[in-house]
Amino acid sequence: MADSLVVRFDALTAVDDVSLEIECGEVFGLLGPNGAGKTTTLRVLTTLLKPASGSALVAGFDVGSDALSVRASIGYVPQALSADGGLTAAENLDFYARVTGVPRAERTARIAAAVEAMELEPMLDRLARTFSGGMLRRLEIATALLNRPEVLFLDEPTVGLDPTARELVWERVHALRAEAGTTVVVTTHLMEEAERHCDRLAIMDAGRIVDLGTPSELLSRHGERSLEAVFRAVTGRVISDEGRISDVRSQRRVARRLG
């Protein structure tokens, strides 16, 4: 899917020689701390950003030379909230159906299918601003499904949600994959979630992919019991629940001083 992608922002290399092969119908996770380059990688794959070098094919189309075909084949839920709080859920869906070019004759059916997939029926007439975080995420995923994407990109879909809301979002993502065969590419810094919900994972750190495999392959390759430990083993650093990283060595030094 991606071949030797490089993205630079001035002196910073945010994505440094990233290559990925993502299979049809899998839930693929990009796991890494804040600033690892996850969002930047998604922005290249969704045609929003041109790489300095490298290439990528999404749903069989080249992100550089055939961006329109890529866009027609994908759904993208960005990291920042994107639903309009001043509109009801139904109005948000109608708006997205129009802007993503869903043919008028198919709008009602497509909206109904997305509502069913994300279980939004009871809240269609409520203003999005009155939604909980989990409902909002499901509404946003529903808007990204209106063009029946082959590949759905979700940037930190469960960040800031309580455990129940997270489970509901994941349950709907798995149902979508089972029912429509959608390929899902998801970023997260939540190790436990990545381990439970992704078929395969790429661990990213400082723009590079430092390891890749199924959760169980990653654990057994490093002889570790948790992905936290795998991350520490490959990068020498630890990742916090909020996605921040810290240097294991400096932590140990502090611990020694305190002890």
Ligand X SMILES: Nc1ncnc2c1ncn2[C@@H]1O[C@H](COP(=O)(O)OP(=O)(O)OP(=O)(O)O)[C@@H](O)[C@H]1O
Residues that bind ligand X (CB under 6 A): 9, 12, 14, 32, 34-40, 79, 189, 243
Q: How far is the CB of 40 from ligand X (least distance, A)?
A: 3
Determine if 39 is a binding residue for Mg ion (CB under 5 A). yes
Compute CA 48 distance to the chain's CA centroid, rounded to the nearest angstrom: 15
Distance CA 116, CA 110 (A): 10
- Residues in contact with Mg ion, shown as a per-residue x/- string from 99 to 118 under the rule CB under 5 A: --------------------
Burial class (CB in 10 A: 0-12, 13-18, 19+), 185: buried
CB nearer to Mg ion: give 89 or 154.
154
55: left (phi over 0), alpha (psi -120 to 50) or beta: beta
3 state DSSP class of 59: coil
CB nearer to Mg ion: give 14 or 120.
14
How far, in Å, are 113, 131, 135 from residue 164 at the CA level? 23, 15, 11
CB nearer to ligand X: give 94 or 156.
156
1, 54 Cβ separation under 8 angstroms: no
Q: Which of 152, 83, 165, 157 is nearest to 124 (CA)?
A: 83
Q: How far is the CB of 35 from Mg ion (least distance, A)?
A: 8
Residue 245 binds which one of ligand X, Mg ion, none, with CB within 5 to 8 A depending on kind? none
Residue 9 binds which one of Mg ion, ligand X, none, with CB within 5 to 8 A depending on kind? ligand X
Element (H, E) at 55: strand 53-58
Residue written as token pair 């629940």:
241
CB nearer to ligand X: give 34 or 240.
34
* Stretch touching Mg ion by CB under 5 A, among 8-16, 74-82, 114-122, 207-215: 74-82
CB nearer to Mg ion: give 38 or 237.
38
Residue 88 binds which one of ligand X, Mg ion, none, with CB within 5 to 8 A depending on kind? none
Per CB under 5 A, residues contacting Mg ion are 38-39, 79
